[in-house]
Structure 1
Amino acid sequence: MALAFRSEGHGDLARVGVAVCHGFTGSPVSMQGWSDYLAQEGFAVNMPLLAGHGTTWQELSKTPWEHWYRDFEASYLELAARCDTVFVAGMSMGGALALRVAALHPVAGVAVVNPGLTFSDPRAKYSGLLKWLLKSVPAIGDDIKMTGISEEAYTRTPVAAVHELSQLFADTIARLPQVTAATLVFRSSVDHVVPDTSISLLKENLSNAELQLVTLENSYHVATMDNDAPLIFSQSADFFRRNIHAL
């Protein structure tokens, strides 16, 4: 299991930070390749292990969404204290957390991969009730086209945590008009976890920010570990370089 990751910047990018966030039921494993790439390029990088993750699904079931946000916000703030410019990046739920940070703090740009704002499973809307009747459902992890790759996510998804996630999504959607930083979205053409309604809502509500959408033709949901990962890594780094002086 990968733990939190922190890297000092170096060279011309020494004081340019990127706060990176993993997704729901996952861990930094899914984002380690991206974080390593950015660190090697010279960016200062912070990637937390979110509360309730990297332990057991039972632990996640007891964790409020505010704790996930708190952990990612702390990573951003730590970078902001030692860098001149800070970007945020995330995948899936990590994308929602990155967008929420961007709504509340002066980030220079946002790069997200298959950001989650809605659910594919229609049962999710009833999770506030179902959590009292059903403790967990089958896992949503490892939606990866490339064979033999695992993000090491939980083997079960706690229903109580899905209810928390729905609250995070609602809060983030409401705050999207507050985001003013340029936003780069990588979207897999086939994603079995996050539905297209998430992207539609993002387009509709991100009304005060420049939005660029890049389609990933050869990856599923966990695209940071899939065939299109090199494209995500290089294009996001270029995006960050272009927006260093955005603020």
Structure 2
Amino acid sequence: MSVMPGAEPYSHDGGEIGVVVCHGYTGTPQGLRPWAEHLAAAGYTVRLPRLPGHGTTWRQLAGTRWPDWYAAVDSEFRELHETCREVFVAGLSMGGLLATKLAIEHGPRVAGLLLVNPVFAHDNRLLPLLPALRHVVPSLPGVVGDIKKPGVRELGYDRNPLQAMHSQRRLWAEVVRDLPEVTQPVLLLHSREDHVVPPMSSALLLSRISSDDVTEIWLENSFHVATLDNDAPLIHDESVRFIERLTAGRG
């Protein structure tokens, strides 16, 4: 299966601080490439994988499930942990969900979490129907491209395969259950206006994690895909500031 031009994974070998960057559901590494490149320019070793079923066709995504997506980022994390002194994990939307799952599973081996508009829950009225609906309707309209900045395009699917969506919803429940196990420092950047993920998602995260070090920043001039939007420079700068603060004087 051929990969969409621009949807390729990104990898950079830099210094002894590593960052695994996770893209979102139905999206591709393209949506986070500028963020990953900025982290690389700051001297970090960076991995931005293409999740299974993404960057090809939505029908291929329909044949994958959340353990497939998690295995991809878990593999990158384990690789970096072997070679880097400290490893951070970062993600947008479902990528933030996967990053949080990494923090839960790997504990103190994750040095910190950087989350942009992460999804942990949703109030869409169709979600309760999903267990039955997925057997009747293969897909619904997609959710990519929620960007305020004119002329910017997110590479991804225009359809949302419901079998895969149902699997993602199961991951929401598992991660939310285990959120109290998150003790790492957290940088949460979320958009004031987001047409994909409701405010309840970040609120749920903040209400359940056990982290003592939490930095919350509102993005005032971006929609959901803030990593390609007007606030991308703010995300870049705050990410480096967060990592530098936590690693200064160590090692």
- Bin of the TM-score, shorter chain as denominator length: over 0.9
Match runs of 1:44-83 below 5 Å: 44-83=45-84
Q: Give the structure 1 partner of residue 114 of structure 2.
A: 111
Is residue 192 from structure 1 mapped to residue 171 from structure 2 by the alignment?
no
Is residue 202 from structure 1 mapped to residue 202 from structure 2 by the alignment?
no
Number of corresponding residues: 243
Pick aligned residue for 2:180 from 174, 177, 188? 177
Q: What is the TM-score when the length of structure 2 is the normalising length?
A: 0.94
- Separation in structure 2 between the aligned mates of residue 124 and residue 116 of structure 1, nearest angstrom: 14
Q: Give the structure 1 partner of residue 216 of structure 2.
A: 213
The answer on whether the counterparts of 1:116 and 1:198 sit within 8 Å (CA) in structure 2 is: yes
- Separation in structure 2 between the aligned mates of residue 59 and residue 3 of structure 1, nearest angstrom: 16
- Separation in structure 1 between the aligned mates of residue 123 and residue 147 of structure 2, nearest angstrom: 17
- Separation in structure 1 between the aligned mates of residue 212 and residue 115 of structure 2, nearest angstrom: 14
The alignment's C-alpha RMSD in Å is 1.3
- Separation in structure 2 between the aligned mates of residue 76 and residue 244 of structure 1, nearest angstrom: 18
Q: Give the structure 2 partner of residue 100 of structure 1.
A: 101
The answer on whether the counterparts of 2:186 and 2:211 sit within 8 Å (CA) in structure 1 is: no
What's the CA shift string for 1:113-172, capped at 9, x where partnerless?
000011242212321111001111111000000011111110111111110110111111
Q: What is the TM-score when the length of structure 1 is the normalising length?
A: 0.95
Q: Give the structure 1 partner of residue 247 of structure 2.
A: 244
What's the CA shift string for 1:41-92, capped at 9, x where partnerless?
1000001100111111111111011010010111111111110000000000
Is residue 2 from structure 1 mapped to residue 2 from structure 2 by the alignment?
no
The answer on whether the counterparts of 2:54 and 2:61 sit within 8 Å (CA) in structure 1 is: yes
Q: Which runs of 5+ in 1 are unaligned?
A: none
Paired residue type of 2:45: A
The Cα of 1:204 is off from its aligned counterpart by: 1.3
- Separation in structure 2 between the aligned mates of residue 191 and residue 131 of structure 1, nearest angstrom: 25
- Separation in structure 2 between the aligned mates of residue 71 and residue 64 of structure 1, nearest angstrom: 12
The Cα of 1:29 is off from its aligned counterpart by: 0.5
Q: Which stretch shifts more, 126-135 or 21-30? A: 126-135
The answer on whether the counterparts of 2:185 and 2:211 sit within 8 Å (CA) in structure 1 is: no
The answer on whether the counterparts of 1:119 and 1:193 sit within 8 Å (CA) in structure 2 is: no
Identity level (%): 41
What's the CA shift string for 1:78-107, capped at 9, x where partnerless?
111110000000000000000110111121
- Separation in structure 1 between the aligned mates of residue 125 and residue 61 of structure 2, nearest angstrom: 21
- Separation in structure 2 between the aligned mates of residue 209 and residue 143 of structure 1, nearest angstrom: 32
Question: After TM superposition, which residue ranges in structure 1, 4 or more long, deviate above 3 angstroms?
Answer: none
The answer on whether the counterparts of 1:117 and 1:169 sit within 8 Å (CA) in structure 2 is: yes
- Separation in structure 2 between the aligned mates of residue 239 and residue 175 of structure 1, nearest angstrom: 24
Structure 2 counterpart SS, 1:108: strand
The answer on whether the counterparts of 1:95 and 1:114 sit within 8 Å (CA) in structure 2 is: yes
Is residue 158 from structure 1 mapped to residue 161 from structure 2 by the alignment?
yes
